[in-house]
Amino acid sequence: MEAFLQNHRTTPDKRSKLALYYKLKIDLLVEESRETALDCYMKSAMEYMKLSLQSKAFEPLSVARLREGRNYDRFADNYAKRGGWTPKLSKINNPFQTAYTTYKWRY
């Protein structure tokens, strides 16, 4: 599914469905595989940010924050190191980093 959506002709509707897919996957995986579920939180938020749907992007981040508590910041830093986003990109080119920065600032 992800490879299919890399096509430049992909519509915003299809991208929003990918974000919803990650969100649903979270519900299934949260009890079985915490690390995979947290990856899905981040992917869902990134897809929503690419579509400029900030309110929907913050929802999975808020849930991740509530579930993980203090471990969330450590996870987000590890996610960046593993290639979840590239730190040298600007905030404009990096929607998740923008969401993460805004999210940390708000709470």
What global pTM score does this model have?
A: 0.44
pLDDT attached to residue 105: 41
In residues, how long is the chain? 107
pLDDT attached to residue 54: 73
pLDDT attached to residue 66: 61
Residue 74's nearest CA partner among 83, 63, 65 is 65
pLDDT attached to residue 86: 41
Please list the rounded mean pLDDT of every run of 10 residues in the chain (107 residues). Answer: 58 77 72 71 78 72 62 62 48 49 46
**Domain ranges for the chain:** 2-106
Q: What is the DSSP string of the chain?
A: -HHHHTSTT--HHHHHHHHHHHHHHHHHHTTT-HHHHHHHHHHHHHHHHHTT-HHHHHHHHHHHHHHHTTHHHHHHHHHHHTTSS-TTS-TTT-HHHHHHHHHHHH-
